[in-house]
């Protein structure tokens, strides 16, 4: 079996010159070329209140969940697609790419390795974006509260809209949390994206405290 | 046909009506799919909410000029087919630019969307986009071969490439439809139809479980909204194209309701053909689908051309 080369990925991110197939030499700076380094902006809601209310209603009634199971709680998402619970009738869909989803369901404990991917996926999602934190582990660490490689409070790293307690919560609880999220969106209180942009430094400092091998720009689209 | 400015308005109205009809169709088919699986299913008006929500996304990013042009090409593909077709034969409102283009132009519009997607998805730089575009282009090219043969056969049969004349020749009786006057061409074209409807067994292009979403992996916000809008136009445009060529078109009756009922019934049934095949057969791999198209549909298409040559 081929040996995995774990050090290779980091070297790939370094600045270097590459010779093209026709002998042309060009500079490659992956950190600049592959990522966008622009910091997040605060997006003001539309000044026309009825219009913004309608937009928010649309956002609430069409929920695209990112199909990224980050912990054991993610298994509770699957029954929602089945005939028994059928979340589709509430306007809930699943998308396989962060670019096209609006709701991120963090399913339970987030290890240091996972939180890095969570941050990257969260930042790639177009706004307005919402986060549902499922299971006790996202609130206070739950049964992993003194674990060496698991974070305790998720909202130190990304803004959370709705928490679902339990270890593990039933699918019904998850459906109920979606309804709560809808209510928040319709009231215009689910502005997690703007909260993240406003307190960007604080979130980044917290993230960097946990993630030791920070091999990406501060803001990666 | 002389150019009139009012036709631009008519074309816009046609496209607007088609978008709404396509969304309604999406809702109905989503509901049918759900009921088959013993689910309640999406709300009928869910596609409208989805599309509006996508249009009002706040933040978005882009990857360059072709990334912008991809959805535009795609939209041109769907809208182009529509405005050069007599959507409702005899109604000036729904046949805006009919005299200005012929069958070849419409065939070209069918392909341009895929090409645009290749350029746009290519610039996005995601490997899944590149894989999916390669698959999509090879599959669509293979599916076009029987379709083009069927259309050659029609051209020989009717002696023209003018869509209006082909519809005209099919009026009067059900037995005048191409379905009955040239069944071989219809069979070849209906098999080719499956290849570009993005449904199983020919949905390896999107393949959500394998290469997430395919060509539009990197598309988000308003870019995706544009693609979604086209996703509603394109199937309707395609079904109208098939109805026009093979199933007698949609003539204008005295009663509006009757016209709409015929329009709905014909397009819905042609659309359902791909849905029925889709729920019955598992997904083909790319080489399997290409082999499929280059076997029976191709032979039927060739037979249709020969038969038309002998008969007419």
**Domain residue spans in chain A?**
63-210
Whether residue B118 is contained in a domain is answered as: yes
Contact partners, residue B263, CB within 8 Å, separation at least 6: B87, B88, B250
How distant is the Cα of B51 from the closest Cα of chain A, in angstroms? Answer: 9
- For position A52, what pLDDT does the model report? 92
CB distance A96–B34 less than 8 Å? no
Q: Give the residue from B128, B117, B261, B108 showing the smallest Cα distance to B204.
A: B128
**How many Cα atoms within 13 Å fall on the side-chain side of residue B58?**
20
Q: Which CATH class is domain A63-210?
A: alpha beta
Confidence of residue A2 (pLDDT cuts 50, 70, 90): very low
Least CB–CB distance from B49: residue in A58, A83, A95: A58
Please give the residue of chain A at the shortest CA–CA distance from B39: A83
For A17, phi then psi, to 5°, come to -105, 140
- For position A186, what pLDDT does the model report? 94
Q: What is the mean pLDDT of residues A6-26?
A: 77
CB distance A99–B218 less than 8 Å? yes
Q: Which residues of B touch A (CB under 8 A)?
A: 30, 34, 37-43, 46, 49-50, 52-54, 56-61, 208, 212-213, 216-221, 224
Give residue-wise pLDDT tens across range B80-103.
Answer: 888 888 888 888 888 878 777 788
Whether residue B235 is contained in a domain is answered as: yes
Domain that includes residue B189, residue range = 6-311
> Averaged in consecutive runs of 10 residues, what is the pLDDT profile of chain B (312 residues)?
83 92 91 87 93 91 86 90 87 80 87 86 83 86 92 93 90 90 94 86 75 81 90 91 91 90 92 88 88 93 94 84
CB distance A43–B59 less than 8 Å? yes
Give residue-wise pLDDT tens across range B216-231.
Answer: 888 888 999 999 998 8
Please give the residue of chain B at the shortest CA–CA distance from A128: B58
Contact partners, residue B309, CB within 8 Å, separation at least 6: B156
Q: Output the pTM of the full model.
A: 0.88
Whether residue B1 is contained in a domain is answered as: no
Q: Yes or no: say if B167 and B249 are a contact pair by the CB < 8 Å rule.
A: yes
**Sign of the dihedral defined by the CA atoms of residues B304, B305, B309, B312, in that order:** positive
C-alpha dihedral (A199, A200, A203, A209), degrees to nearest 10: -130
Cα–Cα dist A204/A121, whole Å: 15
- For position B208, what pLDDT does the model report? 63
Count, residues in chain B: 312
How many domains does one find in chain B?
1
Q: What is the mean pLDDT of residues A72-99?
A: 89
């Amino acid at each position: 079996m081929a040996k995995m080369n774990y050090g290779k990925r980091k070297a790939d991110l370094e600045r270097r010159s590459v010779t093209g197939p026709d002998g042309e030499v060009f500079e490659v700076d992956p950190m600049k070329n592959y990522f966008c380094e622009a910091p997040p902006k605060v997006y003001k809601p539309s000044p026309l209140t009825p219009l913004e209310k309608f937009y928010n209603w649309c956002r609430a009634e069409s929920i695209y969940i990112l199909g990224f199971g980050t912990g054991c709680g993610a298994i509770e998402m699957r029954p929602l697609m089945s005939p028994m619970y059928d979340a589709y009738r509430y306007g809930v869909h699943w998308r396989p790419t962060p670019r096209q989803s609006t709701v991120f369901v963090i399913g339970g404990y987030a290890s240091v390795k996972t939180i890095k991917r969570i941050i990257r996926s969260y930042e790639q999602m177009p706004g307005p974006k919402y986060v549902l934190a499922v299971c006790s582990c996202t609130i206070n660490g739950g049964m992993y509260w003194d674990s060496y490689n698991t974070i305790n409070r998720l909202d130190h790293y990304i803004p959370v809209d709705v928490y679902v307690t339990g270890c593990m919560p039933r699918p019904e609880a998850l459906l109920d949390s979606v309804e709560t999220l809808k209510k928040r969106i319709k009231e215009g209180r689910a502005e997690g994206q703007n909260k993240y942009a406003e307190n960007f430094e604080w979130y980044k400092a917290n993230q960097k405290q946990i993630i030791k091998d920070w091999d990406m720009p501060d803001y990666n689209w | 046909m002389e150019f009139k400015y009012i036709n631009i308005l008519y074309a816009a109205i046609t496209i607007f009506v088609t978008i709404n009809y396509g969304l309604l169709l999406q809702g109905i088919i989503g509901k049918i799919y759900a009921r088959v699986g013993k689910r309640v299913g999406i709300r009928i008006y869910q596609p409208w909410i989805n599309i509006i929500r996508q249009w009002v996304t706040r933040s978005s990013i882009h990857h360059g000029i072709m990334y912008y042009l991809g959805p535009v090409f795609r939209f041109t593909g769907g809208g182009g087919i529509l405005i050069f077709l007599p959507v409702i034969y005899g109604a000036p409102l729904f046949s805006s630019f009919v005299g200005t283009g012929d069958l070849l132009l419409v065939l070209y519009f069918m392909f341009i969307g895929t090409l645009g997607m290749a350029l746009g998805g290519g610039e996005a730089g995601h490997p899944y986009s590149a894989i999916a575009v390669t698959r999509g282009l090879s599959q669509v090219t293979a599916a076009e071969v029987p379709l083009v043969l069927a259309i050659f056969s029609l051209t020989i049969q009717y002696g023209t490439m003018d869509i209006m004349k082909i519809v005209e020749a099919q009026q009067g009786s059900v037995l005048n439809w191409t379905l009955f006057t040239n069944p071989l061409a219809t069979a070849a074209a209906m098999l080719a139809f499956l290849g570009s409807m993005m449904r199983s067994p020919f949905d390896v292009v999107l393949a959500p479980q394998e290469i997430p979403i395919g060509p539009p992996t990197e598309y988000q916000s308003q870019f995706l909204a544009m693609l979604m809008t086209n996703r509603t136009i394109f199937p309707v445009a395609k079904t109208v194209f098939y109805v026009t060529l093979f199933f007698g078109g949609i003539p204008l009756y005295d009663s509006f309701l009757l016209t709409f009922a015929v329009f709905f019934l014909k397009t819905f049934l042609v659309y359902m053909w791909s849905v029925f095949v889709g729920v019955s057969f598992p997904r083909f791999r790319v080489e399997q689908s290409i082999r499929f198209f280059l076997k029976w549909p191709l032979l039927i298409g060739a037979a249709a051309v020969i038969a038309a040559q002998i008969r007419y």
